[in-house]
Structure 1
Amino acid sequence: MTSTPPPPPLSEPDPSTFTCPGSLVGPCSGCQRRTHKYGNGGLPLCQWCMRPARESWGSTVRFTSTRP
């Protein structure tokens, strides 16, 4: 079993912020770290907060678009 490294300090942004426009960067809803907030592929959670959330969801949860 491999352990995951600890997340960097909250002052460091999520790597997703490097590939999105500044208007789509906002605070993570879990830890308040700067992350790709919304838009194409954006999530309100940084990658470190998303990992435990995904594990608790299980394998049956799927994304459903709410756009018509």
Structure 2
Amino acid sequence: MATPAPPITEPDPSALTSSGDQVGPCTVCHRKTRRYGHGGCPLCSYCFADASAKWGRA
């Protein structure tokens, strides 16, 4: 069983190592996470894990 995600008020670990201009909200849960480029639509590591599980191996 996967470990539950911490509360949304806590940022994604990637946001803690990024500069302020590279941090933005996750597109699903709005948790602070690292953005990749201007206008990027990032997923935090918790939402990405859920999404990639649905995508499967293909």
Compared CA separation, residues 43 and 20, structure 1 to 2 (3 A): farther
Alignment gaps of 5+ in structure 2: none
Q: Is the 8 A contact 1:36 1:43 kept in 2?
A: no
Match of 2:7 in 1: 9
Q: Residues 12-46 of structure 1, C-alpha deviation per residue, up to 9 Å, x if partnerless?
A: 0000011111101000001000000124xx87001
* Aligned Cα root-mean-square deviation (Å): 1.7
**TM-score normalized by the length of structure 1:** 0.72
Match of 2:25 in 1: 27
Alignment gaps of 5+ in structure 1: 61-68
Larger radius of gyration: 1
Q: Is the 8 A contact 2:22 2:35 kept in 1?
A: yes
Identity of aligned residues (%): 48
Q: Which runs of 4+ in 1 moved over 2 A?
A: none
